[in-house]
Amino acid sequence: MATIKEIADKAGVSIGTVDRIIHNRGRYSAQTAARVQSIIRETGYRPNLMARNLSTSGSCRIGVLLPLPEQDSGYWSLPLGGIQRAGGELEPFGLSLEIRHYNRYHSAGNNSFAAASSELLSEKLDGLLITPLLEPSTLEFLDRVKAGIPDLPVIFFDTDLPKAPRLSYIGQDSYQSGRLAARLMNMLVTAEQPPGVPRILIITPDSDNEHLKNRICGFTEHFIGELEVLKVTVESDHNLGIFHKLLDSELQEKSQKGPPGGIFVADASAHFVADYIVSSDSLPADRPSLIGYDLVPENCKWLKDGVIDFLLTQRPAEQGYNGVNRLFRKIFLDEDAPEIEYTPIDIVTKENLDYLVDRKAREVL
């Protein structure tokens, strides 16, 4: 591999000049620049990263901004796990993380987001990984970032804001996962239920979340049978009592139709429904099939117990891990990340759960 010294020798200049040309720090003539550039191209020179890192005592600080880990049934601890794993693995190479959380349901003024983002702004960052759930606040934050550090690489994960100035997005195809849920539900209800057209309940918080809408859209377009959508309106985070009351009234009111053959829960709160199912007397011993999302601890428990039949998930830990990794490689190696990266949709049953939950999370169960 060629070194700066060799380039310098070939060009008949000193390493200082080559270095200035490479980093266009001025102090060279256009002619020498052209000569050196062409030699660099010819030799296929690439800087030695070890030397560079040693010399600059290269630190790569990545700011991370995501909701409080315990929110959404603990969903956010999953990407957080991946983020921290990547942070640990890349620490020997000079990476450090600045992780901040915000309350995604604290909408009145969004002080929580503002505080967390301001903290990040005051750090000297080389990259930014964020979940842009609160669109206006995020855009405002990015404006301020841009004013301070003009071309800071920013990666979104979980949710996209295509119009925002981001490097790339790592996330999920929620429509397709809803479609897959429908296929599985079709199998379940014809296999385990009495003949006849099954009635299916779709449970979703009444939020304007794109993912939830898309999952439900994918589900309804591909499910064969009668569907009924039950929106559970929750002001802030979910809550067991609310769910139970809503499900009670739902099943009482519509009891003439009989119990549902299956329930599709579009977010991570399937465990609330599972709680309800096992504790409720109004449902027959022949439980409805239940499909939900995400490997939060409570969901895993009910999957193991057989109350939840399937959990779908789109590898939140991998999203976090890849986000950090991509940013690091962008900053450290100037390697380009794909603009959009979808993580695979996993189908989880009690048979393959164990190998999908990482060790730390498994200890909780």
Summarize as ranges the residues that interact with its own copies (CB under 8 A).
48-51, 53-54, 58, 89, 92-94, 173, 176-177, 179-180, 183, 186-188, 190-192, 329, 333, 342-347, 349, 351-352, 354-356
In the complex, the smallest distance separating the C-beta of residue 6 from DNA, rounded to whole angstroms, is: 8
Residue 40 interaction partner, one of its own copies, DNA, none, beta carbon < 5-8 Å per kind: none
CA 108 vs CA 115, 137, 362: distances in Å: 13, 12, 36
Nearer to its own copies, 26 or 92 (CB): 92
In the complex, the smallest distance separating the C-beta of residue 41 from its own copies, rounded to whole angstroms, is: 19
Residue 211 interaction partner, one of DNA, its own copies, none, beta carbon < 5-8 Å per kind: none
CA-wise closest residue to 170 among 179, 157, 183: 157
Query: Which of 34, 38, 42, 54 is close enough to bind DNA by CB under 7 A?
Result: 54
Q: What are phi and psi of 4, to 5 degrees?
A: -55, -40
Q: Which of residues 10-49 bind DNA (CB under 7 A)?
A: 12-17, 19-20, 22-23, 25-29, 31-32, 45, 47-48
Nearer to DNA, 31 or 256 (CB): 31
CA contacts within 13 A on the Cβ side of 352: 9
Residue 333 interaction partner, one of its own copies, DNA, none, beta carbon < 5-8 Å per kind: its own copies
In the stretch 310-349, what mask flags binding to DNA with x, by CB under 7 A?
Answer: ----------------------------------------
Distance CA 86, CA 77 (A): 14
Interface residues with DNA (CB under 7 A) are 1, 3-5, 8, 12-17, 19-20, 22-23, 25-29, 31-32, 45, 47-48, 51-52, 54-57
